[in-house]
Structure 1
Amino acid sequence: MSQRIDYHNDPNAPAANSLVPSVNVVVTNDADEVLLIRRSDNGNWALPGGAVDLGESIPQAAIRETLEEAGITCEITGLVGTYSDPRHVIHYTSNDEVRQEFSLVLTARPISGQPTPSTESSEARWVPQHELDKYSMHSSMRMRISHHLQGDGPHIG
């Protein structure tokens, strides 16, 4: 089975060989719960998201990825920030691609659907904000969520 391995500030990380624009989406419901998925490729909890496909806009990619990975149709409401730290690389073992981080993190509200896993997610659920620390996730994902919760303007990095 292919895996996703995140490296951040790791001198032993493989060198990046691609740069792919991607999105993550912080979807919050009326109870201020955050939509999380458990990734099938590494078991970590994460915000829904993925690559922006040719021919689609950033908001279109965010809406598509949230529906595909979590079963929720959403409406984009804002921007958490931009994330492009070259010290964060993601190794996909299926094809030996090593991506340099390039992610835009958007906010959204749910319109319809129920959290539903997919081939890319083994679980999808609404998580109360006070329970987020209990979920195992990569530090880069935790940072994105933290930036959203702080709400002090778009992060540029």
Structure 2
Amino acid sequence: MQMPVHIVAAGGFVENNQGEILLVKVRRDGDWVFPGGQVEVGENLIDGVIREVKEESGIDVIVSHLVGIFSNTATYEGHSGVKIVPTKVMFDFVCKPVGGELTTSDETSDSCWVSKEEVLDLVSAPALRTRYQAYLDYNGSINYMDYITRPEFELKLKRSV
């Protein structure tokens, strides 16, 4: 049996006191996204999301609570020498800003605060839209979803746990 390989990632829905959501624009494709990314070796999920938000946006955060766990079970050819991108498991957290200033990074070309109602006008990726809706619909139960993003987005499983 082959040992399973997964990418573990953490994302942050950062909401300020005005009810605005933090978005960053990815340099690679110009899409607006929520800050987050792969958890590094030896790093826990909470530290990972705090680091990713700071790196991508310049904002310091504290983590409030987990709202969703998502599996992207599609495998596909990667870029930058990656032959096959394995299954991804993503943990989305609600975060509160506690300092820092909006900035950009090697990965991001812009960062901004957007009203909750306008987020979906900017975020176009179906998987991210689905995860944002799970954040909006959060009722105290953790959302779990299994989806694929290629060849096109398909939600395979949705439930609360």
TM class by shorter chain equals 0.7 to 0.9
CA deviations 1:9-55 (Å, max 9, x no partner) are xxxxxxxx952101111000001100000111221111101111111
1:73 matched to which residue of 2?
60
Counterpart secondary structure, 2:23:
strand
Tell me, what secondary structure is at the counterpart of 2:127? Answer: helix
TM value normalised by structure 1: 0.83
Match of 1:27 in 2: 14
1:94 to 80, 103, 107: 80
Which of 112, 116, 135 is the equivalent residue of 1:125?
112
- How many aligned positions are there? 140
Q: Which residue of structure 2 aligns with residue 154 of structure 1?
A: 142
- Measure the CA separation in 2 of the matches of 1:92 and 1:65: 21
Where do 4+ consecutive residues of structure 1 move more than 4 Å? none
- Measured in 1, the distance between the counterparts of 2:88 and 2:7 equals 8
Contact 2:28 2:107 in 1 (8 A): yes
Whole-angstrom distance in 2 between the partners of 1:48 and 1:90: 23
Return closer, same or farther for 1:63/1:113 CA change in 2, 3 Å cut-off: same
Matched, 1:140 2:123: no
Paired residues for 1:32-111 under 5 Å: 32-87=19-74, 89=75, 91-96=77-82, 97-111=84-98
Measured on the aligned residues, the alpha-carbon RMSD in Å equals 1.7
Deviation at 1:99, TM superposition (A): 3.1
Deviation digits for residues 40-86 of structure 1 (CA, Å, limit 9, x no counterpart): 12211111011111111100000000000010000000011100131
Contact 2:123 2:129 in 1 (8 A): no
What residue in structure 2 maps to residue 5 of structure 1? none
- Specify which structure has the bigger relative contact order, considering alpha-carbon pairs within 8 angstroms and separated by 6 or more residues: 1
CA separation in 1, counterparts of 2:35 and 2:86?
A: 18
SS in 2 for 1:64: helix
**Distance in 2 of aligned mates of 1:22 and 1:42:** 19
Listed as ranges, the gaps of 5+ residues in structure 1 are 1-16
In the other structure, the counterpart of 2:151 is none
CA distance 1:122–1:18, change in 2 (3 Å): farther
Percent of aligned pairs with the same amino acid:
27
Structure 2 unaligned blocks of 5 or more: 146-161
